[in-house]
Chains A and B, each alone.
Chain A
Amino acid sequence: AQSVTQLDSQVPVFEEAPVELRCNYSSSVSVYLFWYVQYPNQGLQLLLKYLSGSTLVKGINGFEAEFNKSQTSFHLRKPSVHISDTAEYFCAVSKDDGGSQGNLIFGKGTKLSVKP
């Protein structure tokens, strides 16, 4: 069965500093991985996804993630954060091996707080 573990529930960081949000997964089928962001009182927005191909995935707003099969990880990184990046970030894995993006298992989320 698939599962996702986000290792940090909260990450405080100063503006313009780099940040890494950690995600480990377990999957018994082909792996399709996603990072979503949720701003207060809003729905989720897709940041990036790994379906196949290059293990370094670039997303929106300057975020990127690296798929590491041996470490079963998919950590999200940004070299320099802004106040506007303050939000909750969710890592997710597809529940089936057909590449479906509509049936996801989410981690518990990491709250990123960017301080001036």
Chain B
Amino acid sequence: KAGVTQTPRYLIKTRGQQVTLSCSPISGHRSVSWYQQTPGQGLQFLFEYFSETQRNKGNFPGRFSGRQFSNSRSEMNVSTLELGDSALYLCASSLSPFNEQFFGPGTRLTVL
């Protein structure tokens, strides 16, 4: 069974641009969560989706948004990028919010 896939793996953007990151969950998984990992702040929860509905949202500004499609694939978008948005963005999928999460390898975003 294929694991969680995140695309792209690496991304370089400049301040003010916007970016879309994609996450394909393990087949059959309907729950997807997103986390931001930085050296300073560590791992911080961004969003949780289940069956196309946002179930929970972390404490991030409105520039961060996400969605989940009917095939459970998820995207997150960051608009008006800032230098501080440089981070590893991790996606995790599970059968449901109450099952073990499996993490993808992450997308490393660098904002110049």
A: number of interface residues (CB 8 Å): 24
B: number of interface residues (CB 8 Å): 25
User: Which A residues are CB-close (under 8 A) to B4?
Assistant: 43
User: Which B residues are CB-close (under 8 A) to A102?
Assistant: 31, 33, 48, 50, 55-56, 92, 94, 97, 101
Interface: B90 (CB within 8 A): yes
A100 and B98 form a contact (CB under 8 A): yes
Residues of B with Cβ closer than 8 Å to A? 4, 31, 33, 35, 42-45, 48, 50, 55-56, 90, 92, 94, 97-106
Interface: A7 (CB within 8 A): no
Chain A at the B interface: mostly helix, strand, loop or mixed? loop
Contact A109 to B97, CB < 8 A, known contacts A102-B92, A103-B56: no
Least CB distance from A90 to B in Å reads 6
Contact A103 to B33, CB < 8 A, known contacts A42-B105, A43-B104, A44-B90: yes
Please pick, from A41, A46, A49, the residue contacting B105 in the complex, using a CB distance under 8 A.
A41
Beyond contacts A43-B106, A46-B100: 19 other A-B pairs, Cβ-Cβ < 8 A, are: A36-B103, A44-B90, A44-B103, A46-B102, A49-B100, A96-B56, A100-B48, A100-B97, A101-B94, A101-B97, A101-B99, A101-B101, A102-B48, A102-B94, A103-B45, A104-B101, A106-B43, A106-B44, A108-B42
Docked complex Cα distance between A106 and B43 (Å): 6
Docked complex Cα distance between A59 and B100 (Å): 13
Chain B at the A interface: mostly helix, strand, loop or mixed? strand
Contact A43 to B105, CB < 8 A, known contacts A100-B97, A100-B98: yes
Docked complex Cα distance between A95 and B106 (Å): 22
Q: Interface centre among B33, B94, B99, B101, by most A CB within 10 Å? A: B101
Please pick, from A43, A49, A103, A109, the residue contacting B90 in the complex, using a CB distance under 8 A.
A43
Contact with B along A85-108 (1 / 0, CB 8 A): 000001010011011111111111
Interface: A45 (CB within 8 A): yes
User: Which B residues are CB-close (under 8 A) to A101?
Assistant: 94, 97-101
User: Which B residues are CB-close (under 8 A) to A90?
Assistant: 43
